[in-house]
Amino acid sequence: MNRVDQLKSFDPEIFDNLLKERDRQDAQINLIASENYVSPIVHLASMNALTNKYAEGYPRKRYYAGCQFADHVEEIAIDRANQLFSSEYANVQPHSGSQANHAIFNALLQSGDTIMGMSLNHGGHLTHGATVNFSGKDYKAVTYGVNEKGLIDYDQVREIAKKTQPKLIIAGFSAYCGILDWKKFRTIADEVGAYFLADIAHVSGLIAGGVYPNPIEEADILSSTTHKSLRGPRGGIILAKRNPDLFKSLNFGLFPGVQGGPMMHIIASKAVAFKEAMTEDFRQYQQQILKNAQAMVAVFLERGIQVVSGQTQNHLVLLDLTNTEHTGKAMQEKLEEVGIITNKNTVPNEQRSPFVTSGIRLGTPAITTRGILENEAKEIAHLISDVALKAYDVNQIKSKVLDITQSHPVDLNYLV
Ligand code: DSN
């Protein structure tokens, strides 16, 4: 019996759900801005013998014997991350972006210190000071937001920073369609004597592909996930260059501060993903992500659907449904019914709860991986507009979704 059959016969319940999930991913249009499909080789590289290895510590300074190959793998991953982002320090061990941020807080701050990040409601991340997260519980969090145009008002950021004197300023987002002005954040951080953390989780692929500015010269530290636009396995990284005095404490902040043993098998897969991200194909992929997002925005504007900030300069599009008959939650559900996967999202000056919201967040990394170009991106935007404007037949849209997905299958045959 081969291994797939062994798994199927030993654990049919799990096997069945895995197959169904694979088929769901193939059959639906995935517009979750933070998701992607890893390549088969990145996936393959995550399934290896290093899953059995404890390697607490860092290369050549481990707490276990037998780490020779784990060391090589981690050193290769570090070198590639540094090459990709022009950094001089890389920690490839964080299990996630949140763990990376936790380690950075741990390295730079004392509990009770003031930190400043973008408000969750305005597009920031949980770990940028949300009251329900360690960042808002263990630290005194102050937030900045976006103006009525949906853009960051740097004068407001400066004003809040001067008033509250944060020790750490965070720039980065989960839902923002613009280009962040890293230099302005640097200047403000200098004016108040704060560290500057650029959380590039959403745009790290775009940065690696050269279509979004790299903050490595401006920020003291960068954090990222590896699985969003960067298209690697799930995980996080910490990068730095500007401030070598921090390198040691960043390492210590993660291990032993926040994590124990690194997931060495995933670090191998991260290394392969970083190598992919250095290719010309990857650069073109990132350019296409941007073109697809902008093509979708053009359709929404033409159809009278409100787009937060009226444009996008990255992979994200935020629809404001306030003027439609849908809440974000209802729209997410209607779209799921026809096979288009999105997530409800708060919009600037949101009046509804985070469980209901007035917006929908869309992103193009996953559809672009499956080979969708502008014309089909526009077709998808028309389908979404039809749903938003209640001008549609469910079965008709479902069949158009299937036409699109069937002409762009994703290579997900890991299990068969
Ligand atoms: N949950 C991620 C997102 O969807 O943007 C951020 O960590």
Ligand 1 mutation pick, 125, 128, 317, max ligand atoms within 8 A of CB: 125
Let me know: does 80 contact 278? Beta carbons within 8 Å: yes
How many CA atoms, within 13 angstroms, populate the side-chain half-sphere of residue 37?
A: 27
Mean pLDDT by 10 residues, the chain (416 residues): 92 96 96 97 96 98 98 98 98 98 98 96 94 97 93 97 98 97 98 98 98 98 98 98 98 98 98 98 98 98 96 98 95 98 92 94 98 98 97 95 97 73
Let me know: does 391 contact 413? Beta carbons within 8 Å: no
Ligand 1 mutation pick, 118, 133, 228, max ligand atoms within 8 A of CB: 228
**Per-residue confidence (pLDDT) for residue 199, from 0 to 100:** 98
CA torsion through residues 93, 96, 99, 105, sign: positive
Q: Using CA atoms, how far apart are residues 259 and 252, in angstroms rounded to an integer?
A: 10
Residues in Cβ contact with 284 at an 8 Å cutoff, skipping those fewer than 6 apart: none
Q: Does the predicted model carry a pTM greater than 0.95?
A: yes
Q: Using CA atoms, how far apart are residues 96 and 93, in angstroms rounded to an integer?
A: 9
343 Cα nearest atom in ligand 1: 4
Q: Considering only the C-alpha atoms of the chain, give the largest distance between any 2 of them, rounded to a whole number of Å.
A: 68
Q: In the 8-state DSSP scheme, what is residue 146? A: B
Which residues does ligand 1 sit against, CB inside 6 Å? 34, 97, 125, 174
CA torsion through residues 257, 259, 264, 269, sign: negative
Q: Which residue has the tokens 């987002």?
A: 173
CA 143 to chain centre: 20
CA dihedral 18, 22, 24, 26 (to 10 degrees): 180
- 180 CA distance to ligand 1 centroid (A)? 18
Question: For residue range 166-218, what is the model confidence (pLDDT) as tens digits?
Answer: 999 999 999 999 999 999 999 999 999 999 999 999 999 999 999 999 999 99
Let me know: does 254 contact 278? Beta carbons within 8 Å: no
**Per-residue confidence (pLDDT) for residue 416, from 0 to 100:** 57
SS3 223: strand
Question: For residue range 56-86, what is the model confidence (pLDDT) as tens digits?
Answer: 999 999 999 999 999 999 999 999 999 999 9
